[in-house]
Amino acid sequence: MFLESICIINGQPQNMEAHLTRMRLTAAQHGFTAPDLPDPLLLLPDHLNSGKVKWRIEYDEKIVSVEFLPYQPKVIHALRLVRGNPDYAFKYADRGALEKLLKLKSSCDEILIVRNGLITDTSFSNVLLQQGDRFFTPATFLLNGTRRQQLLREGIITEKEIPAAELQNYDYILLINAMLDINNAPRIPISNICG
């Protein structure tokens, strides 16, 4: 089973083509045809027509469930580096491998996963490393997120390998996903990443 989370702002789905492309690629890789998405405007409850809403879809050959949730951003102040190699090349509904690593966060709010000495993602987002006015994203991501792809296409961020040992060369880390753009992403000082 797979998961797609789409941001809806004031009743309008965001970055839809990227989400549909990911669903089609996921389905093709797993031997089925991606199901058609229902029209969110026909399903979105009236009280969620304004503001930011997470449209959560579970699917395989068919749509298994659809939820509309008022978006509540996580409050993140500190990250813990954890070493791991979870398989999350596709947006699986089963996040067991990520949840297991998340238990290692200790007193921090979130984890930053390191694979083979290189920075990847958090348990729920891609990351950007800010150096002055430049932004970099790890080439060693776990999931090639739709927001990450959009920012790369637009030339706002640059992809490169980022060794965990070189984190001190950056000023901030930003957490991005379909719900969090570069302008509203949590921005955490590098000094708040624990080893």
pLDDT in tens, 61-81: 999 999 999 999 999 999 999
Residue 103 and residue 23 in one domain: no
**Statement to judge: residues 16 and 91 lie in one domain:** no
Domain limit, last residue, from 24, 41, 70: 70
Q: What CATH number has the domain bearing residue 163? A: 3.20.10.10
Residue 54 CA to residue 8 CA, distance in Å, equals 6
41 and 83 both lie in a single domain? no
The tally of domains found in the chain comes to: 2
Q: What sign has the CA pseudo-torsion 47, 182, 159, 138?
A: negative
What are φ and ψ of residue 175, in 5° steps?
-105, 120
Residue 111, Cα to own-chain centre: how many angstroms? 13
Same structural domain for residues 83 and 65? no
On whether the CB atoms of residues 66 and 51 are closer than 8 A, the answer is: no
The verdict on 189 and 143 lying in the same domain is: yes
At residue 85, does pLDDT exceed 90?
yes
Pairing between β-strand 126-131 and β-strand 2-9 as defined by DSSP bridges: unpaired
- Residue-wise pLDDT tens digits, 129-176: 999 999 999 999 999 999 999 999 999 999 999 999 999 999 999 999
- Please check whether residue 73 is in contact with residue 180, taking contact to mean a CB–CB distance below 8 angstroms: yes
The pair of three-digit structure tokens given for residue 99, joined into one six-digit string = 């949840």
Residue 7 CA to residue 68 CA, distance in Å, equals 10
**Owning domain of residue 143:** 79-194
